[in-house]
Amino acid sequence: MEATAIADLAPVELNKLAQRLGNTPLEPIYLVIDGIPRKIHLKLESENPTGSVKDRTGYGLIQAMETRGLLGKGSIVIESTSGNLGVALSFYCKLKGYSFIAVVDPKTTQENLAKMQALGAKIEMVDQPDENGGYLLTRLAHIQELCDSSAAYVWTNQYGNPANPHIHYLTTGPEIYRQMHGKIDALFMAVSTGGTLAGVGRFFREASPATTIVGVDAYGSIVFGGPAAPRKLTGIGSSRASSFLTPDLYDTHMLVRDEEAFAFCRTLWQSGGNKVGGSSGAVLAACAKYLQAHPEVQDVVCVCADGGENYANSIFNDAWLQQQGLNVSQEHLGPVQDILYKLPFMR
Ligand SMILES: Cc1ncc(COP(=O)(O)O)c(C=O)c1O
């Protein structure tokens, strides 16, 4: 739902919206690889209350802080966020009556900044890149400064709080398992903090150890190791390693370039389908390569962390791509010749 519309909701309506958390749909599509349509399922996290997988994380973090007695009257929740978690926390803080400060950076999309502000968040923007070329370390230093200045600040700490992976262990993993009737050959997820991958990975290790768990990251991110480099993809990647990910929780990881991710976002949309965000495009690009290398794989899920609305001024804007020097073309789809929503003989 649009943040401006959420901002106008009465408390009872806000509560109703909050109940739409989770149980997001799975949508089948076909990637035509080497002439063969290969069915995959998109887990559409854009269907959560504020439009991303981070609604789950935001809910889990606030719940955990409340359970530990760390939140009360006068508390100011604070978090470093590249966007989606900021929108989610803005929503949950509004719902619960806490103030919220989002520490963001120049890569945060205009769409997400507008959403956070509409939901009553205060925005603090850092502008000095850190030694890895990202802004994470600068954002964290700013949070430290604020927390040192007053006990009213409560940092939810998405990077180290076990409540982050735990909510995915409790919800995202079991939902996928149930929706696929327990039959999943391979599961693809983008990483930033690694919370989604760690929580879902842990659930599948217990419930379905034969499922191959694949972490997807951007070239230039150092979640799975270096080297660090600039990248245009947002939401996915980080300029430091994840504190949640241990090698037992996933089978492999794949790195995707900006142009590949954007090509999948744009082609999926041009094929008459959903607009998905950049990290979802990256997940599709990785999945396509994996399927080409594994003709035997049949039951596949790609977690699509957010929708394309956040990227109207970037991924889906030709002028922006040109300004960034990105020439996105069919060749960036790698092994995929086409994306289909229905096979020709389907009604
Ligand atoms: C669009 C998008 N994709 C993927 C992720 C990765 O999620 P996680 O932090 O759980 O690794 C995020 C996190 O912010 C995101 O916003």
> Which residues are CB-neighbours of 247 under 8 A, at least 6 positions away?
none
Q: Report the alpha-carbon distance of residue 278 to residue 312 in Å, rounded.
A: 11
Report how many domains make up the chain. 2
Following DSSP, what letter does each residue of 31-94 receive, concatenated?
EEETTEEEEEEEEEGGGSTTSBTHHHHHHHHHHHHHHTT---TT-EEEEE-SSHHHHHHHHHHH
Strands 26-33 and 336-340: antiparallel
Ligand 1 centroid to residue 264 C-alpha, Å: 18
DSSP single-letter state for residue 139 = H
Residues 105 and 34 in one domain: no
Q: Whose CA is nearest to atom 12 of ligand 1?
A: 235
From first to last of its 347 residues, the chain has per-residue pLDDT tens of: 777 777 777 778 888 888 999 999 999 999 999 999 999 999 999 999 999 999 999 999 999 999 999 998 889 999 999 789 999 999 999 999 999 999 999 888 888 899 999 999 999 999 998 877 778 889 999 999 999 999 899 999 999 999 999 999 999 999 999 999 999 999 999 999 999 999 999 999 999 999 999 999 999 988 998 788 888 898 898 878 899 999 999 999 999 999 999 999 999 999 988 899 999 999 999 999 999 999 999 999 999 999 998 899 999 999 999 999 999 999 999 999 999 988 877 66
User: 161 in a domain, yes or no?
Assistant: no
Task: Give the ligand 1 atom nearest the CA of 84.
Answer: 16
Residues 113 and 29 in one domain: no
Residues 32 and 115 in one domain: no
Residues 21 and 89 in one domain: no
Give the CATH number, domain containing residue 70: 3.40.50.1100
User: 160 in a domain, yes or no?
Assistant: no
User: 180 in a domain, yes or no?
Assistant: yes
Task: Give the ligand 1 atom nearest the CA of 306.
Answer: 1
Q: Report the alpha-carbon distance of residue 181 to residue 324 in Å, rounded.
A: 43
Q: Whose CA is nearest to atom 2 of ligand 1?
A: 235
Domain of residue 151, residue span: 54-155
Ligand 1 centroid to residue 55 C-alpha, Å: 11
Residues 210 and 68 in one domain: no
User: 218 in a domain, yes or no?
Assistant: yes
Around ligand 1, the residues with Cβ closer than 6 Å are 52, 54, 84-85, 190-197, 235-236, 277, 279, 305-306
User: 143 in a domain, yes or no?
Assistant: yes
Phi, psi angles (nearest 5°) of residue 80: -90, 125
Residues 123 and 231 in one domain: no
User: 194 in a domain, yes or no?
Assistant: yes
Show the tokens assigned to 7: 């901002």
User: 1 in a domain, yes or no?
Assistant: no
Ligand 1 centroid to residue 54 C-alpha, Å: 7
Residues 126 and 142 in one domain: yes
User: 73 in a domain, yes or no?
Assistant: yes
Of 107, 123, 155, the one marking the end of a domain is 155
Residues 79 and 226 in one domain: no
Task: Give the ligand 1 atom nearest the CA of 190.
Answer: 4
Side-chain-facing half-sphere of 113: CA atoms under 13 Å: 12
